[in-house]
């Protein structure tokens, strides 16, 4: 049975030699992302800035958004956005955070329900007051920073500091560019986006660790080989796996993006982006930057270990 | 390596069987699983409110109110006790957690200090230059707030139970917050209305000596307060500050009708009944104001002593207002007002749609990955697919066993795990291919593939697990559901990808003893 090979055996692409191209691309990507974040900012959902979100479905055919907008404009609730959501009957209403503390949000929801009464089905009603939104924002920030910190510590512990640094550069690259794409597209940035960012961080590191593992193994095997060549070989040796895993994950994510419904579309979008960028950064960023960090090449203890392992392997056959 | 320890085989088989046993109830209807004998696992995965429809409310108890009330009461007691001892004072008042008073005559300071020090046991009393300051201790404040929150939870539970909501979850969160989950309630306005009132009802005597002009001009004698009328808040009623009978002595209250108008009947406990009898017998022809949350509902004239301990509250109620009010009185007053900080309600339609979409997405994602694995790795891919199925069964089993809540992001977590779970196998298989290319025989390649891939697998998975743990710690609601399925998925996938595929591969190698691996 001949199996399909995604990446042909013995592939040898130039990654390390083209690193300047990758670095340039990534620096531009990061700067653009930061710029977009600075200029456009993020379109924070109610989780982080407070306010009201209601998903309603018209009970009498396609929703008349213009009419609904007029109805709501009489309430004086400040900025109100109404848009179609998935289907013509469905409408997503977003209302800015109401002044007057926690109670005002609740009253505004009641006011909206009084206007629409039974002409719509209330599929989802959410409001977040100023207190909670602030906390959720801080918690999200905390979770992302702690995750990056904890992953750094783990890599540092398992590898050498150079690898930790490489991994974190790749990780920050992925996180910042994900924020950048959200700023560019103006997609809603909410709690599930933070979940996606954290998962992207985990995934990106996962990819990086696999290549790093191979680099470490090769460093032990070939004491004198040119570092650039060794890094390039390590990438190529693991390339098949890197691509395979990205493909299986993307298969699952595309299913989720297309079929999983409106509510998690933002989440699956962020994840899909993250898989692409995470795969890219592991291969084209995390490994090439190792070239610039002074990696130790001799480690007698490890050498003995691998010798013993080899003997044991052969013995078992 | 073709040797696979017996205990490992047993372990794999046992875990798989347990997985099937614990996951199985999810395939049955609720009724069937509930009727299983108790020794068979019968717990189903509980769906989050975003999937089954329902409301999530986050409330905060304004516990400082309790402290303020306590300080106000302290101020009152200080006033009466100093007057009783004929000690003259000025500047009696309160701050955030303190009450202070200046004693006029230096020779009375010690006496005053002796009296004040005993008034509130949860306080420290200091004296400096004739100024006495009573400060509630940290401990007393904490304790007062704690008990206020606990009482609030109890009252909230009673009120919600009265509405007939099925299986509400009411939990404390942090120091001063309460989370309420109401499955099946997608329009919680009724519940919110009930929680929006503290419903403190007290009986005060009306002060008939205060004329309408005095009231309007704010000329109110000491010991009397002006309270707004519940119907028309511009109209004020002068009532004596002293509470004659407290509403917490009520044991029952029901909506009923009098002369065709909705009214509320109430019954006191024995102590309340005694007090009520004494007040009504001593004050015939005066008015007794019924005060709810600082507003006068009505102030009927006492026509005779009421000795039975029960009575009727009239007022301009609608039927539903009378129902609400009697419910609130039955359930008891909240010690402090509640504020709704956050609401998330999902209608049953959206929940069902989400479940359906999640099912289809998981199924299609799974199918795509399964096919892709077979196309890429043939027989080994099939083994990995078997492991993947076992993995999904184990995730279901773990969710049922832990009674974790499955949310929409949680389903996303499972789908993501499906994609990532095969990663461990991909790592192993790619390694085996490499070893084959390096000229090793089938057995040696398989052996070395597993051995060498394992540290990588562990390293890679621990990093994702770190992210999952932090998400759980800092996430809230549905996002936590995502962290749970992601975390469980990582653990189970490590087991299935390593042990379950390996068992299959080993059994095949032993049976066929292939000379070459076309892989």
In tens, the pLDDT along B4-37 reads: 788 888 888 999 999 998 888 888 777 777 777 7
What token pair was written down for B308? 């039975």
pLDDT at position B267 is 92
pLDDT of A20 above 90: yes
With beta carbons less than 8 A apart as the criterion, state whether A200 and A278 touch: yes
Q: What is the mean pLDDT of residues A266-293?
A: 92
The shortest C-alpha distance from A37 to chain B (Å) reads 23
Interchain CB contact of A203 with B (< 8 Å): yes
Instruction: Inspect the interface and report whether the beta carbons of B364 and A55 lie closer than 8 Å.
Output: no
- For A146-149, the CB contacts below 8 A with 24+ separation are A146/B470, A146/B474, A147/A198, A147/A201, A147/A202, A147/B466, A147/B467, A147/B470, A147/B471, A148/A172, A148/A175, A148/A201
Q: What is the mean pLDDT of residues A117-128?
A: 89
- Give the pLDDT band (50/70/90) at residue A299: low
- Give this prediction's pTM: 0.80
- Mutant choice from B467, B471, B493 vs A, greatest count of A C-beta within 10 A: B467
pLDDT at position B448 is 87
- Give the pLDDT band (50/70/90) at residue B2: low
- Can you say whether residue B105 is alpha, beta or left, with left for phi > 0 and alpha for psi between -120 and 50 degrees? beta
pLDDT of A309 above 80: no
> How many Cβ atoms sit within 10 Å of the Cβ of residue B176?
18
Closest CA to B481 of B416, B430, B385: B416
Instruction: Inspect the interface and report whether the beta carbons of A263 and B354 lie closer than 8 Å.
Output: yes
The shortest C-alpha distance from A168 to chain B (Å) reads 12
CATH number for domain A19-42+133-307, candidates 2.60.20.30, 3.60.21.10, 1.20.1640.10, 3.40.50.410: 1.20.1640.10
- Give the pLDDT band (50/70/90) at residue B164: confident
pLDDT at position B321 is 86
Closest CA to A69 of A59, A55, A83: A83
pLDDT of A310 above 50: no
pLDDT at position A298 is 62
pLDDT at position A311 is 42
pLDDT at position B345 is 92
Query: What CATH code is assigned to A51-128?
Result: 3.30.70.3400
DSSP B128-162: ETTEEEEEE-HHHHHHHHHHHHHHHHHHHHHHHHH
Q: What is the mean pLDDT of residues A97-106?
A: 85
Q: Which of A109, A131, A191 sits opposite B341 (nearest CB)?
A: A131
Classified by CATH at the fold level, domain B6-52+347-512 comes out as Multidrug efflux transporter AcrB transmembrane fold (1.20.1640)
> How many Cβ atoms sit within 10 Å of the Cβ of residue B101?
22
Q: What is the mean pLDDT of residues A141-148?
A: 85
pLDDT at position A2 is 54
Average pLDDT of every residue of chain A: 86
pLDDT of A315 above 60: no
Q: What is the mean pLDDT of residues B85-105?
A: 89
- Mutant choice from B176, B392, B412 vs A, greatest count of A C-beta within 10 A: B412
Query: What is the C-alpha separation between B292 and B271, in angstroms, rounded?
Result: 20
With beta carbons less than 8 A apart as the criterion, state whether B253 and B326 touch: yes
Task: Tell me which chain B residues have a C-beta less than 8 angstroms from the C-beta of A104.
Answer: none
- How many whole angstroms from its chain centre is CA B212? 47
Q: What is the mean pLDDT of residues B364-389?
A: 92
Task: Give the gyration radius of chain A's Cα atoms.
Answer: 25
- Give the pLDDT band (50/70/90) at residue B438: confident
Domain ranges in chain A are: 19-42+133-307, 51-128
pLDDT at position A312 is 42
Query: What CATH code is assigned to B196-334?
Result: 3.30.1360.200
pLDDT at position B203 is 92
Task: Tell me which chain A residues have a C-beta less than 8 angstroms from the C-beta of B354.
Answer: 261, 263
What token pair was written down for B137? 């201790």
Strand B46-47, strand B405-406: pairing: parallel
- Give the pLDDT band (50/70/90) at residue A317: very low
pLDDT of B91 above 80: yes
Instruction: Inspect the interface and report whether the beta carbons of B427 and A210 lie closer than 8 Å.
Output: yes
pLDDT of B280 above 50: yes
Run of H or E residues at A197: helix A191-221
Q: What is the mean pLDDT of residues A223-228?
A: 89
Task: Tell me which chain A residues have a C-beta less than 8 angstroms from the C-beta of B479.
Answer: 191-192, 194-195
Q: Which residues pair with B133 in a beta bridge?
A: B100, B126
With beta carbons less than 8 A apart as the criterion, state whether B227 and B289 touch: yes
Interchain CB contact of A28 with B (< 8 Å): no
With beta carbons less than 8 A apart as the criterion, state whether A283 and A25 touch: no
- Counting every residue written for chain A, the total comes to 317
pLDDT of A26 above 90: yes
In which residue ranges of chain B is CATH 1.20.1640.10 found?
6-52+347-512
What token pair was written down for A209? 């660790």
Q: Which of B339, B441, B518 sits opposite A102 (nearest CB)?
A: B339
pLDDT of A303 above 50: no
pLDDT of A305 above 60: no
With beta carbons less than 8 A apart as the criterion, state whether B48 and B344 touch: no
Q: Which of B57-61, B177-181, B508-512 is predicted least confidently?
A: B508-512
């Amino acid at each position: 049975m001949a199996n399909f090979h995604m990446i042909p055996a013995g592939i040898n692409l130039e990654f390390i030699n083209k690193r300047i191209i990758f670095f340039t691309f990534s620096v531009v990507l990061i700067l653009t992302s930061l710029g977009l974040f600075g200029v456009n900012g993020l379109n924070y959902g109610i989780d982080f800035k407070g306010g009201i979100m209601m998903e309603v479905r018209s009970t009498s055919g396609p929703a008349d958004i213009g009419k609904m907008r007029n109805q709501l404009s009489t309430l004086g609730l400040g900025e109100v956005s109404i848009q179609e959501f998935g289907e013509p009957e469905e409408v997503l209403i977003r209302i800015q955070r109401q002044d007057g503390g926690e109670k005002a949000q609740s009253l505004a929801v009641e006011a909206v329900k009084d206007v629409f009464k039974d002409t719509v089905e209330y599929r989802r009603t959410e409001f977040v007051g100023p207190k909670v939104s602030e906390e959720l924002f801080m918690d999200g920030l905390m979770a992302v920073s702690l995750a990056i910190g904890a992953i750094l510590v783990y890599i540092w512990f398992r590898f050498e500091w150079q690898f930790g640094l490489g991994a974190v550069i790749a990780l920050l690259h992925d996180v910042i560019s994900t924020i950048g794409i959200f700023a560019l597209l103006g997609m809603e940035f909410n709690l599930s986006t933070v979940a996606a960012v954290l998962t992207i961080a985990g995934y990106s590191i996962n990819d990086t660790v696999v290549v790093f593992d191979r680099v470490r193994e090769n460093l032990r095997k070939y004491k004198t080989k040119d570092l650039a060549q060794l890094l390039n070989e390590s990438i190529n040796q693991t390339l098949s796996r890197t691509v395979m895993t990205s493909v299986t994950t993307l298969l699952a994510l595309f299913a989720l993006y297309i079929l999983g419904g409106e509510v998690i579309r933002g989440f699956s979008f962020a994840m899909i982006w993250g898989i692409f960028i995470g795969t890219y950064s592991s291969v084209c960023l995390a490994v090439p930057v190792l070239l610039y960090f002074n990696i130790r090449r001799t480690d007698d203890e490890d050498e003995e270990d691998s010798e013993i392992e080899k003997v044991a392997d052969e013995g078992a056959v | 390596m073709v040797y696979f320890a017996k205990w490992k085989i047993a372990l794999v088989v046992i875990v798989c069987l347990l997985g099937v046993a614990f996951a199985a109830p999810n395939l049955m209807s609720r009724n069937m699983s509930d009727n299983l004998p108790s020794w068979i696992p019968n717990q189903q995965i509980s769906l989050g409110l975003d999937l089954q429809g329902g409301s999530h409310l986050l409330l905060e108890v304004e516990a400082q109110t309790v402290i303020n009330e306590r300080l106000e009461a302290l101020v009152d007691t200080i006033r009466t006790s100093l007057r009783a001892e004929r000690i003259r004072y000025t500047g009696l008042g309160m701050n955030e957690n303190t009450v202070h008073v200046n004693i006029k005559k230096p020779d009375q300071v010690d006496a005053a200090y002796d009296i004040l020090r005993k008034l509130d046991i949860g306080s420290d009393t200091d004296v400096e230059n004739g100024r006495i300051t009573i400060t509630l201790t940290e401990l007393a404040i904490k304790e007062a707030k704690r008990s206020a929150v606990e009482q609030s939870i109890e009252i909230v539970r009673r009120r919600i139970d009265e509405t007939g909501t099925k299986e509400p979850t009411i939990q404390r969160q942090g120091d001063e917050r309460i989370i309420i989950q109401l499955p099946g309630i997608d329009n919680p306005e009724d519940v919110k209305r009930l929680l929006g009132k503290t419903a403190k009802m007290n009986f005060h005597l009306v002060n008939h000596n205060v004329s309408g002009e005095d009231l309007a001009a704010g000329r109110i004698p000491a010991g009397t307060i002006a309270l707004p009328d519940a119907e028309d808040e511009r109209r004020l009623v002068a009532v004596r500050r002293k509470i004659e009978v407290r509403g917490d002595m009520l044991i029952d209250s029901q909506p009923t009708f009098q002369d065709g108008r909705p009214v509320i009947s109430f019954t006191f406990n024995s102590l309340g009944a005694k007090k009520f009898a004494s007040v009504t017998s001593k004050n015939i022809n005066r008015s007794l104001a019924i005060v709810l949350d600082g507003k006068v509902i009505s102030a009927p004239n006492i026509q005779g002593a009421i000795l039975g301990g029960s009575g009727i509250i009239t007022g301009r109620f609608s039927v539903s207002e009378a129902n609400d009010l009697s419910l609130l009185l039955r359930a008891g007053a909240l010690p402090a007002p509640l504020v709704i900080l956050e609401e998330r309600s999902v209608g049953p339609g959206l929940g069902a749609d989400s479940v359906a979409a999640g099912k289809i997405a998981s199924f299609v994602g799974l199918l795509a990955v399964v096919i892709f694995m077979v196309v890429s790795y043939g027989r080994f891919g099939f083994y990995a697919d078997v492991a993947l199925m076992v993995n999904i069964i184990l995730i279901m089993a773990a969710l049922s066993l832990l009674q974790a809540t499955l949310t929409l992001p949680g389903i996303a977590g499972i789908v993501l795990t499906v994609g990532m779970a095969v990663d461990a196998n991909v790592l192993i298989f790619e390694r085996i291919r490499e070893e084959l290319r390096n000229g090793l025989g089938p057995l040696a390649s398989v052996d070395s593939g597993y051995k060498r891939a394992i540290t990588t697998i562990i390293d890679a998975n621990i990093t994702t697990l770190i992210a999952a743990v932090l998400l759980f710690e800092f996430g809230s609601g549905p996002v936590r559901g995502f962290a749970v399925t992601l975390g469980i998925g990582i653990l189970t996938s490590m087991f299935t990808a390593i042990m379950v595929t390996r068992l299959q591969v080993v059994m095949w190698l032993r049976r066929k003893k292939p000379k070459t691996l076309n892989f």
